[in-house]
Structure 1
């Protein structure tokens, strides 16, 4: 009897070991599973990091290439490595022509997301309310046309007006005037300078897409313009 009691007491005193052992096993299993999942997640994160790094590197390279293309167009056509500074001191023939004929302030060369833009105030190319090229317009476009033949880039010619209404038999609205002027520029390039017409597109926006206020005469003069964009 005494032996049985001692055995029973011993069994009771060791019961906790079984429970403890089960708990340790469960905890161990948990950490094994956690470690496995963490390893997989780290692997996935590593893959994501590699993909993102590749994408960033590609975008950076493309951006640098785009900058180079923009810069090369300005350099190729007008010998301008830096448009913002070089244009003021350039002795390139076209820019010299503008400066000597007091047209320098009316023509602007800028870089944008599309390519190289040459912006003319309408008075450089046309007489007021007309769509026939003026003598000065022929002279200016003649030089531009010679340069356009040296490259293969596509070209976009766009016409714009101010918001002052026009109601003539030839031009019932600003829209017709802007389109006609842009078309005259394109016809000069294709017919007189033999620029491939497949490279050129034309648009007229009338008074839309203004770049200045129409509340002042100076602003309206800036809005009346022809823009030639040489696409990247």
Structure 2
């Protein structure tokens, strides 16, 4: 009996050791946790994301973190790829910046060229005005968007009429001749009146009168066949864009006018806006 009892005790010493497997995994995870906590003293976002992915793989597949060395290598390759991608993006950004700088530089050159041409045209028109004693009937103004020729209605039309005077046709022809030397600009001829109402068999309103005066003056200019008709247009504003208060005979005369606008093709938008603000303030 005693011998059998001893054999039974010896058999009980060999207990099942399967609990060691999850215990070992637990120790592995604890070790990895301490490594992560240590590494978080100086956080690297990319490495932290890679470590998070490694934990996700380990927990979902039941494998230990230390059994996945390929994860670390993959993270290193990803970092290199990201660095390569950043370099490519930097190159693209630099290329775009260079193209923008070249475009801005080209635009500035075109603006300067146009400005010089319109200044030259202004000098020619001013010389024509002085030579023919037309300083009281014509003037020129220039800004960043246009060269403006302002012609008094007395120099072109009889009162309440839209037919260009015979002696004034030479003026329209002279302006047209000068414009042939600058064929790349759009030109707008605009008619303006004072606020005195008009209603007769020819014109129902100041709108009609202002439009027809612009059209008739443009007709005379376009008798010069060297001009490209596609670049010319006519419009009328009636009494709605006065340059002076309609409170005297002199001011009303200023408002009755024809304006020839030679427009810039290339415009510095910011300078034009600033100029418009200053013009409105002065009015």
Q: TM-score, normalised by structure 1?
A: 0.68
Q: Deviations over 1:50-70 (max 9, x none)?
A: 745653553354134223213
Matched, 1:25 2:39: yes
Contact 2:193 2:256 (8 Å CA) reproduced: yes
Residues 59 and 106 of structure 1: CA distance in aligned 2, closer, same or farther (over 3 Å): farther
Residues 67 and 31 of structure 1: CA distance in aligned 2, closer, same or farther (over 3 Å): same
Q: CA deviation at 1:144?
A: 0.9
Contact 1:70 1:116 (8 Å CA) reproduced: no
Counterpart residue number, 1:143:
174
Q: For structure 1, which segment, 154-163 or 195-204, has the greater mean C-alpha deviation from structure 2 after superposition?
A: 195-204
Task: Write the mapping of 1:54-69 to structure 2, written as runs, cut at 5 A.
Answer: 54-55=99-100, 58-69=103-114
Q: CA deviation at 1:119?
A: 1.6
CA distance in 1: counterparts of 2:248 and 2:88, whole angstroms: 63
| SS of residue paired to 2:240 | coil
Q: CA deviation at 1:21?
A: 5.0
Q: CA deviation at 1:173?
A: 0.8
CA distance in 1: counterparts of 2:204 and 2:168, whole angstroms: 24
Q: CA deviation at 1:45?
A: 8.2
Q: CA deviation at 1:188?
A: 0.6
CA distance in 2: counterparts of 1:142 and 1:221, whole angstroms: 24
Residues 110 and 50 of structure 1: CA distance in aligned 2, closer, same or farther (over 3 Å): farther
Q: Please report the RMSD computed on the Cα atoms of aligned residues, expressed in angstroms.
A: 3.4
Counterpart residue number, 1:11:
none
CA distance in 2: counterparts of 1:216 and 1:50, whole angstroms: 61
Matched, 1:70 2:70: no
Q: CA deviation at 1:177?
A: 0.6
| SS of residue paired to 1:212 | coil
Q: Deviations over 1:143-201 (max 9, x none)?
A: 1122123332332211111111112221221111111111111111223x233433321
Residues 55 and 176 of structure 1: CA distance in aligned 2, closer, same or farther (over 3 Å): same
Q: Deviations over 1:4-51 (max 9, x none)?
A: xxxxxxxxxxxxxx78754222234x2363998xx8999978966774
Q: Deviations over 1:119-160 (max 9, x none)?
A: 212122112221111244222112112212333233221111
Structure 2, unpaired ranges of 5+: 1-30, 49-78, 266-283
1:206 to 238, 244, 253: 238
CA distance in 1: counterparts of 2:142 and 2:173, whole angstroms: 22
Matched, 1:99 2:130: yes
Q: For structure 1, which segment, 39-48 or 196-205, has the greater mean C-alpha deviation from structure 2 after superposition?
A: 39-48
